[in-house]
Amino acid sequence: MFQTFEVTARPEQGPPRLSALREKITTAALDGFIVPRADAHQGEYVAARDARLAWLTGFTGSAGFCVALHDVAGVFIDGRYRTQVKAQVADVYTPVPWPEITMGDWLREHLPKGGRVGFDPWLHTVDQIEQTQKALIGSGVELVQCDNLVDEIWADQPAPPMAAAKVHPIEFAGEAHADKRARLAQTLKDAGETAALITLPDSICWLLNIRGADIERNPVVHGFAVLHADGTVDLFSEPSKYAGLEAHLGGDVRLHDPSSFLNNIKALSGVIRIDTATVPQIVADALGTAAKSGAEPCALPKACKNAAEIEGAAQAHLRDGAAMVEMLCWLDSQAAGTITETQVVTQLETLRRRDNGLQDISFETIAGTGPNGAIMHYRVTEETDSVLEDGHLIVLDSGGQYLDGTTDITRTIAIGTPPTEACEAFTRVLSGMIAMSRLRWPKGLAGAHIEAIGRMPLWLAGQDFDHGLGHGVGAYLSVHEGPQRLSRMSTVPLEPGMILSNEPGYYREGAFGIRLENLLVVQNAPALAGGDDHRAMLDWRTLAFAPIDRRLIVPEMLEPTARDWLNAYHAEVKTKIAPRVSEAAKEWLNAATAPI
């Protein structure tokens, strides 16, 4: 398993670490250095060794970057982290609203002509560098490849993760890796391509039906891969991790030390596909003119789950729902003012771990009460641990990594008597969640085309939230998985088998937060009774089953169709989950799912 390291900078460590970085910037004859959240594999999640942004600045969000110059250091964060960043970074760092302000715009403002900004070419994708260079045209500011300057000052940087890989059984994978390789190789042949490069760990794990533990909470193995048009694979990953997997991988998967990756791909001939959104700049440089931009071959097939993966997700959610009901029952039995966020987190993780199929939680449990609930990706610490007081709400966002599926569910729960304005906002959030759950839409539409459905009840009241409505989810893989999203930025058409979250929210800084989340799977919509469907339609199958807090609902604010959906959902929760829980939880569940 993975080792846990504390790599986040405390506020008092920010100034000396930034000062040390600036000395390195000067020594390298640069005017600045870019520190991204990313690692060389360009996934969303990073191992402790690669948590350079958190080590330098203290910011622990899942997206963002720092640009350190001699006189200013900007920490670029999107809307999810505007509140969080204020509490985490020292005052030597300046939060920058991103993408409203791009790196190129910011560098134009803060650097004179002739400014040179260094970057580690392993840690930035081709697209990222190209976009920034275009924005800097005419500014005189230059991006310069260099060694990683943070690594040079990080004396106790953790070692690379070395967790063993394991086989992902065919009953859960649903397709042998030889068949996956052959299927994807055919797409390369059809496109006249010799090979494709794969850098994302979850794609490699999906392709080869393996799992690992190189990243906390994510069952992946670090590595790079070359998928050839004949269906064979060159895998560049620490060989010691694969002891005992020789028979599973077979002769068509050749294992190499990762240090040989660049030299190996330089020797490739023909047309080599790279996904410029995920491949590091240094990899594209090594390929030169052989590189051809195209979609990463695993991305869409991985997103469209097969029947075994969907059934596994459904079963995992039933067991996970039972743990959630036991948790909600326990929480309701605790008097206001008697427990803390940490106790909530501990209790929920304990209940989940009763399931023998659970391998890990799928991300750090979010349990934010009162003002902490307004921090979208809040993580309780000793310093922030708060008591659940009367009148508070608590946002409880959590999930599990089961052998048969990955779960992610959020419920917002009332503690004592909730404020009226919170109940009204909650009902709008619920209305948006229901509207998306009920949606039918024509094939060919993407998340950008339908995401507003889940926001409309909030918009009508002048309210909104600064995160996407939903993200893709893996099959015992990353809890955040692309390429599909319910987001105004996502143009990937939704297809049957894709699993996404449906999670509208509302956050009032300093007061409370609200979020509700179920996972859904895209399916072909059945024909309407007596209807006249003149085009193919899609709809959702709900996977997650746990009660929604009726105490926070203002019934007269719900449309009749929304009320009918909620009552039907609660009836299904009761039917599916009651046989799986204790007698005390069953009694609680009966009351929690009573019709409105």
Model pLDDT for residues 431-464, shown as the tens digit of each residue: 999 999 999 999 999 999 999 999 999 999 999 9
- pLDDT tens sequence across 164-205: 999 999 999 999 999 999 999 999 999 999 999 999 999 999
- What count of other Cβ atoms lies within 10 Å of the Cβ of residue 11? 14
Quote the tokens at residue 492.
């990937």
Residues for the chain: how many in total? 596
pLDDT above 90: residue 553: yes
Q: What is the pLDDT of residue 384?
A: 94
Q: What are 397-435's pLDDT values in tens digits? A: 999 999 999 999 999 999 999 999 999 999 999 999 999
CATH homologous superfamily of 304-592? Creatinase/methionine aminopeptidase superfamily (3.90.230.10)
DSSP string, 83-106: HHHHHHS-TTSEEEETTTS-HHHH
Q: Tell me, what amino acid is at 374?
A: A
Class of domain 11-153: alpha beta
Q: CA–CA separation, 182 vs 471, rounded Å?
A: 28
Q: Please list the residue range(s) of the chain that carry CATH number 3.90.230.10.
A: 304-592
Average pLDDT over residues 215-238: 97
Spatial separation of the C-alpha atoms in residues 530 and 549, rounded to whole Å: 36
**Token pair of 107 as six digits:** 């560098």
Q: Which 8-state DSSP code applies to residue 11?
A: G
In angstroms, how far is CA 310 from the centroid of its own chain? 19
Please say whether the structural domain 166-299 has been given the CATH code 3.40.350.10: yes
Cβ burial, residue 190 (10 Å; 0-12/13-18/19+): exposed
Q: Is 207 a residue whose pLDDT tops 90?
A: yes
Percentage of residues of the chain with pLDDT beyond 70 = 98
**Is residue 536 predicted with pLDDT exceeding 90?**
yes
pLDDT at residue 5 is higher than 50: no
Tell me the whole-structure pTM to 2 decimals. Answer: 0.94
| Alpha-carbon distances of 532 from 149, 535, 561, rounded to whole Å | 63, 9, 21
Domain with CATH 3.40.350.10 in the chain: 11-153, 166-299
